[in-house]
């Protein structure tokens, strides 16, 4: 067993892990965080995505020991103070049916909008490309992110702000 220390959703934690423990299993089984889903267990579907030091990663492909000293954010962290703008837009646009892909899509969208508050349709498609959804055909997901982007652009234009 190896002791690792990291920040999860703003809280410093230390736990013991085996060298072959996968981050997804540690998050779900040892820390009780249920937003990262076990989908394909090989990094194809995006359902297990989390933000690791601000970058979206597939937690099924990361050994837990690798996150020692890192910062992790899950959907639980994104919504600590209520639903995020991203989550609200997805609800408003009825973007999900079964919801299994939702955590990964929320993570990918959050990462995108933190880097670029007014992405183009092509940038949105690129950012979400690693997330599989069997229910929606992606249209309502893309429309929700486009709506956020349009809102951000409109507010930036009205306030003289920039997209940096």
Residue-wise pLDDT tens digits, 85-127:
999 999 999 999 999 999 999 999 999 999 999 999 999 999 9
Q: How far apart are CA 93 and CA 75, in angstroms?
A: 19
Do 6 and 72 have their domain in common? yes
Residue 118 lies in a domain: yes
Q: Which of 126, 125, 148, 147 is nearest to 138 (CA)?
A: 125
Q: What was the pLDDT predicted at 71?
A: 98
At which of 25, 45, 78 does a domain end?
Answer: 78
At which of 78, 106, 134 does a domain end?
Answer: 78
Do 68 and 89 have their domain in common? no
Q: What was the pLDDT predicted at 164?
A: 42
Residue whose token pair is 């209520």: 82
Do 67 and 90 have their domain in common? no
Q: What is the CATH number of the domain that holds 56?
A: 3.10.20.30
Q: What was the pLDDT predicted at 156?
A: 74
Do 109 and 154 have their domain in common? yes
Tens-digit pLDDT string for the chain (164 aa): 999 999 999 999 999 999 999 999 999 999 999 999 999 999 999 999 999 999 999 999 999 999 999 999 999 999 999 999 999 999 999 999 999 999 999 999 999 999 999 999 999 999 999 999 989 889 999 999 999 999 998 887 664 444 44
At which of 57, 78, 99 does a domain end?
Answer: 78
Do 93 and 154 have their domain in common? yes
Residue 164 lies in a domain: no
Do 57 and 122 have their domain in common? no
Q: What was the pLDDT predicted at 158?
A: 61
Do 91 and 58 have their domain in common? no
- For 50, the token pair is 């989390």
Angle, CA 43 vertex, CA 39 and CA 47 arms, to 5°: 40
CB burial class (10 A; 0-12, 13-18, 19+) of residue 128? buried
Which residues, 6 or more positions from 29, have their beta carbon under 8 angstroms from its beta carbon? none
Q: What was the pLDDT predicted at 112?
A: 98
Do 135 and 115 have their domain in common? yes
Give the domain range for residue 147: 85-159
């Amino acid at each position: 067993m190896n002791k690792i220390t990291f920040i999860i959703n703003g809280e410093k934690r230390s736990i013991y892990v085996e060298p072959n423990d996968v981050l997804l299993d540690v998050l779900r089984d040892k820390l009780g965080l249920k937003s990262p889903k076990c989908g394909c267990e090989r990094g194809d579907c995006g359902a297990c995505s989390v933000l690791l030091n601000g970058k979206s990663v597939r937690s099924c492909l990361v050994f837990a020991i690798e996150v020692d000293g890192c910062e992790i954010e899950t959907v639980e962290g994104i919504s600590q103070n209520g639903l995020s703008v991203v989550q609200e837009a997805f609800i408003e646009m009825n973007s999900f049916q079964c919801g299994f892909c939702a955590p990964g899509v929320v993570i990918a969208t959050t990462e995108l909008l933190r880097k670029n508050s007014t992405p183009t349709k092509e940038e949105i498609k690129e950012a979400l490309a690693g997330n599989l959804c069997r229910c929606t055909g992606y249209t309502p997901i893309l429309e929700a992110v486009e709506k956020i982007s349009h809102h951000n652009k409109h507010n930036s234009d009205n306030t003289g702000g920039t997209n940096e």
